[in-house]
Amino acid sequence: MKTIANTPLNSGILLPEYDRSRLVTRIVHLGFGAFHRAHQGLFTHEMLAKTDSDWGICEVNLFGGESLIQSLCKQDHLYSVAEKGAESTEVKVIGSVTEAMHPAKNGIQAILEKMAEPQVAIVSMTITEKGYCTDPATGKLDKNNPLVQQDLLTPQHPKSALGYIVQALKLRRERGLPPFTVMSCDNVQENGHVAKAAILEFAQSLDAEFRDWIETHVTFPCTMVDRIVPAATPETLSDIATLLGCDDPCAIACEPFRQWVIEDNFVAGRPDWNVAGAEFVADVVPYEEMKLRMLNGSHSFLAYLGYLGGYDHISDTMTDAGYRKAAFDMMMKAQAPSLTMPAGTDLQAYAMLLIERFTNPSLKHRTWQIAMDGSQKIPQRMGGSLKYHLANGTDFSWITTAIAGWMRYVSGIDEAGNEIDVRDPMAEQLRRICDQHGFHVSVVPALLGIEAIFPRELGQNPQVIDAVSRAYQSLLDNGARATVAAL
Ligand code: NAI
Ligand code: CS2
């Protein structure tokens, strides 16, 4: 079979310029999804081209994505990334992957054994917000999560990422091996702290002494990760195949921009990702907050109100002057004032760059995709700034309009009366509440009453209930486009 590994590729394709046979699996990555391929996989690849480092990655998908893993194995673990600017595209073949595994293909034990290999120094993750099995409002382990309950009953046969990490650390400890660093690369506020708290609480339920060993010996650096990487579509794959000169089922397209800020806190060494443009800093939290609130917060605003307004892609919303202005105001008036940034950070320039990135017409980033998992995303994208404005008596109408947009969206019916395919771990509960109220403003306090999403200080706050209710009523009366234009 012709693959990217055994076919001469078209000229202009950038190939790995280092000896891949020197690579050793020192990183096990959980979550070979769209994002990792265009971000950590590519940063590692570029670091390898510039150093004599031997850090290679074993890719693991724990949920879905089995065919991606099969394809990656068939093509010598090579895959391609197309960086699409507004006018030109650059295609790179990435060589940093050494192995790829899936529980359905290799079995749970083989993956645990891989994580317990002595030279493995980092277990990294892009497992989506829900992969942390935490309560979205508090960020603490959700012991009612069925995956957690099952893994605590059978810890030797885990299913969740937390269960795999805890069991692999247990094997390493029993074998007298040093621990690995756990590095989250998800869009979760204080992602390292959330991963640490969830893993410690999970381990505590099994063995308090082992929990203390993890706390003493394992580190959980926080990271701020940024690159817009829409899910691949048949068109993306076919476009990239034309550029390459052969099919690559693992190919992914993304924007040219990329950013990675990493807390320099690794227990067993780390690659020099800085040579590929990453930044190692002592405290990532301000950068994470800036990105989550300004980029992701306005993304969610555009996703709900854009979808309801009939826009399929983020770049389509940017062609509407009302949405474009509202997104910029969401960044600068609703989110930026709530941030405390290191001296010299230019938030206005950051916002202008974000608008430019959102405008890139080559990226087909669906509003529907970003609207997914809102129950997990809204608290960290909007909660902090909402609290800031309540405390300061300042205007938060962009945030409450975004929340109203989410409420209208999770009803499952769009403005033209068509069904919306709402994907969310809490979708059933949300739909039940919406069905009870119909399209009536009484749904607002009912949804704000879900404490897993809205802490009481926000969900029960009369000012918040009032502002979301007004925005929701405007969506019912005037529709999304007019509501956004009136902001
Ligand atoms: P994707 O849908 O392509 O991949 C999701 C990955 O998560 C898959 O590898 C899947 O196996 C894994 N996964 C899903 N549920 C899981 C669970 N319960 N436990 C363990 N693993 C689970 O999504 P994509 O685009 O790769 O995004 C993944 C995450 O990366 C996002 O949720 C976000 O936190 C972060 N991210 C994504 C960016 C993007 O533009 N796509 C940019 C910045 C961060
Ligand atoms: C998006 C992010 O899907 C979403 O929720 O807001 O994946 C966004 O594209 C990235 O965080 C950009 O770095």
Write the residue with the smallest CA distance to atom 31 of ligand 1: 128
Distance 484 CA to ligand 2 centre (A): 21
The dihedral through the CA atoms of 81, 83, 84, 87 has a sign that is negative
Ligand 1 pocket, Cβ-based, cut-off 6 angstroms? 31-36, 61-65, 126-131, 160-161, 186-187, 225, 227-229, 231
The pTM assigned to this predicted structure is 0.95
Question: Which atom of ligand 1 lies nearest, measured to the CA of 160?
Answer: 19
327, 301 Cβ separation under 8 angstroms: yes
77, 69 Cβ separation under 8 angstroms: no
Question: Which atom of ligand 2 lies nearest, measured to the CA of 259?
Answer: 13
CA distance 464 to 268: 46
Distance 228 CA to ligand 2 centre (A): 6
Residue 54, SS3 per DSSP: coil
Q: Which of 261, 269, 114, 100 is nearest to 180 (CA)?
A: 269
245, 3 Cβ separation under 8 angstroms: no
Q: Please tell me the number of the ligand nearest to residue 372's CA.
A: 2
Q: What share of the chain is helix, strand, coil (3-state, %, to 5)?
A: 50, 10, 35
Compute the CA torsion angle 417, 325, 376, 122 (nearest 10 deg).
140
For residue 147, what pLDDT is reported?
A: 96
Question: Which atom of ligand 2 lies nearest, measured to the CA of 365?
Answer: 9
CA distance 329 to 171: 51
For residue 371, what pLDDT is reported?
A: 98
Residue 353 token pair = 């760059």
Per-residue b or e along 448-480, where b marks 16 or more CB atoms closer than 10 Å to that residue's CB? bebebbbeeebbebeebbebbbbbbebbeeebb
Residue 340, SS3 per DSSP: coil
Q: Please tell me the number of the ligand nearest to residue 358's CA.
A: 2
- Show Cβ contacts of residue 304 under 8 Å, excluding neighbours closer than 6 positions: 367, 371, 374, 402, 405, 406, 408, 409
Distance 64 CA to ligand 1 centre (A): 11
> Mind listing the pLDDT tens digit of every residue in the chain (487 residues)?
789 999 999 999 999 999 999 999 999 999 999 999 999 999 999 999 999 999 999 999 999 999 999 999 999 999 999 999 988 999 999 999 999 999 999 999 999 999 999 999 999 999 999 999 998 878 899 999 999 999 999 999 999 999 999 999 999 999 999 999 999 999 999 999 999 999 999 999 999 999 999 999 999 999 999 999 999 999 999 999 999 999 999 999 999 999 999 999 999 999 999 999 999 999 999 999 999 999 999 999 999 999 999 999 999 999 999 999 999 999 999 999 999 999 999 999 999 999 999 999 999 999 999 999 999 999 999 999 999 999 999 999 999 999 999 999 999 999 999 999 999 999 999 999 999 999 999 999 999 999 999 999 999 999 999 999 999 999 999 999 999 999 9
Ligand 2 pocket, Cβ-based, cut-off 6 angstroms? 187, 226-228, 295-296, 299, 369-370, 377
Distance 11 CA to ligand 2 centre (A): 32
Q: Which of 483, 407, 482, 389 is nearest to 444 (CA)?
A: 407
User: Which of 28, 124, 126 gets mutated to test ligand 1 (max ligand atoms within 8 A of its CB)?
Assistant: 126
Total count of residues recorded for the chain: 487
For residue 172, what pLDDT is reported?
A: 98
Compute the CA torsion angle 388, 389, 390, 395 (nearest 10 deg).
-170
Per-residue b or e along 313-331, where b marks 16 or more CB atoms closer than 10 Å to that residue's CB? bbbbbbebebbbebbbbbb
